[in-house]
Chain A
Amino acid sequence: MIRDITIGQYLSGTSFMHKLDARVKIVCTFAYIITIFLCKNFWSLGLMVAFAALMTLLSRVPVRMLLRSLRPVAFILLFTAVLNLFYTKTGSVLFQWKFLILTDKGLYTAVFMAVRILSLVSVSALLTYTTTPTALTDGIEKLLSPLKLIKVPVHSLAMMMTLALRFIPTLIEEIDRIMSAQKARGADLETGGFIQRAKALLPVLIPLFVSAFRRAYELAFAMECRCYRGGEGRTRMKQMKLGVRDAVTAVCFVLLIAGVVLLGRFFPAVI
């Protein structure tokens, strides 16, 4: 049912990953994504995959849920793999049929790209599965706070993100309702060419915009009534505190990156 949409895909829990500070999780996720593109041989790639598996284990997120998050990227995955498989012309030829040439390097590149995308998506999914949208935006706000020095409105951006996350389910419900109402008046939203369809969407889009503006207006009043004046002088109920758990995680990540770099030195690159 439309009521059951969970934005940010957060799964409540009390695992090691859930208890980590959001800032640590965000930084580590980025570090992981960058590091995986530094992997040039199977040893370092193996290390990264093992690490992702460990993280999954520590998050207690069911593998089934993780696989579900991979479904939308399945096509991209296949596409890049096939492209890499046949586009790479260097290396020794393993197989040739008419214009299709398969080289060992091509095969490796395809496997690497596939594994990289899979890990990247899984790790990002773990971040959203184990972090509430609020903690995520708070974490981003804290991490970006140095940018305030160069006049970037960090607080406003974070607030916008929070409100967007808050209103996505409300607006989805609204679209659903308006579409049903117009269909009941015989609106045909499914057939016809591009122009026709775009035109047919007007009866949905106009009421949606009218309603979104009304909501924004009312929300602004409601926020003012609750003494909102921007980030100045604002405190937070949930304080972010770094603990032993966060320190251990950070050290592990430093070791992981060092490991990947070292493995890259000792073993020859295969791509």
Chain B
Amino acid sequence: MDTIIQLRNVSFAYETEEEKNLAVQGVDLDVRRGEFLAVVGHNGSGKSTLAKLFNAILLPTEGHVLVEGMDTSDEEKVYEIRRRVGMVFQNPDNQIVATIVEDDVAFGPENLGVPPAEIRARVDEALRAVGMYEYRLYEPHKLSGGQKQRVAVAGIIAMRTDCVIFDESTAMIDPKGRREVLETVRKLNRELGITVVFITHFMEEAALADRVVVMDSGTIAAEGTPAQIFADTALLQRTGLELPPAAQLARTLREHGVELPDETLTPEQCADALFRAAQKAGVV
């Protein structure tokens, strides 16, 4: 599979007056084109620093980050890199620039110098893709957190980026908004083939990814499919993470002697597994 972002032995240190603080150290990682990659880890595990290294907001103090072959340390390429790899931040209020939704979505393409008629087409298309077209003339501060984040997503995909990094974009919004954002992200990934790097500390969100990377004290502690990661109880314990709620239920059931197949990470999978178990026992 084609890789879109390559991290080669990447380290990053925040320097303060007293100390050098290694936030990321010696990370090697390939982000594959079209995948939905979740990056999890507790606060201070380095996952947010890692995110900011992907599109040259931060530059590695050691090693290289390559976006479609371009080194993020190359100043000439920064602009090219950012039009390929967009980012949605944590606080929805601090990334919306304009006073009208559609003007905000147009901001990126305008910066790229796209002709006006095409910007219009892209803005409408992007707003439809995130389900915010009816809100195009709203003022951003009248929207809910989930809606604001969807507008931010539209602003990125209107730039026709290949990859979108979500830097804890669901951390500050309510469960309803979180569901909206997550559904939008999955749809973009499936239907438009946009590569997604989703940084989160909600395990039920990571359970939906193709691949999960676990960060712990600046290094990659583990990498694998959600099923592999969440099967490793010791790893979760060590890295301060927990099982997704559905998986917790499955674990309790197994402890009580109920036999269930492996895939029980999402509520849907868990319900299916329980249904089959009930069928097997002949109660349905």
Interface residues of A (CB under 8 A from B): 3-8, 12, 132-134, 162-163, 165-166, 169-170, 173, 214-215, 218-219, 221-229, 233-239
Contacts and interface: CB of A to CB of B under 8 A. Distances in A.
B14 interface: no
A9 to B, nearest CB: 12
15 contacts: A3-B142, A8-B99, A134-B99, A163-B97, A166-B98, A169-B141, A218-B95, A225-B55, A225-B86, A227-B112, A227-B159, A235-B110, A235-B113, A237-B116, A237-B120
A84 to B, nearest CB: 39
A221 B86 CA distance: 11
Contact of B111 (A12, A132, A166, A226): A226
B95 A222 contact: yes
Contacts of A133: 99-100
Interface in B99-133: 99-100, 102-103, 106-116, 119-120, 123
B57 A235 contact: no
B91 interface: yes
A218 B91 contact: yes
B97 A239 contact: no
Interface magnitude class on chain B: 35 or more
Given A6-B139, A227-B79, A234-B111, A218 B94 contact: yes
Contacts of A234: 110-111, 113
Contacts of B155: 226
Given A215-B93, A215-B94, 7 more contacts: A12-B137, A222-B95, A225-B57, A226-B107, A226-B108, A237-B103, A239-B116
A3 B111 contact: no
Nearest to B142: A3
B97 A235 contact: no
A237 B113 contact: no
A234 B79 CA distance: 14
A223 B97 contact: yes
A170 B93 contact: yes
Contacts of A8: 99
B113 A233 contact: yes
B89 interface: yes
A222 B99 contact: no
B87 interface: yes
Contacts of A162: 97-99
A222 B110 contact: no
A52 to B, nearest CB: 27
Given A235-B116, A235-B119, A219 B99 contact: no
A226 B159 contact: yes
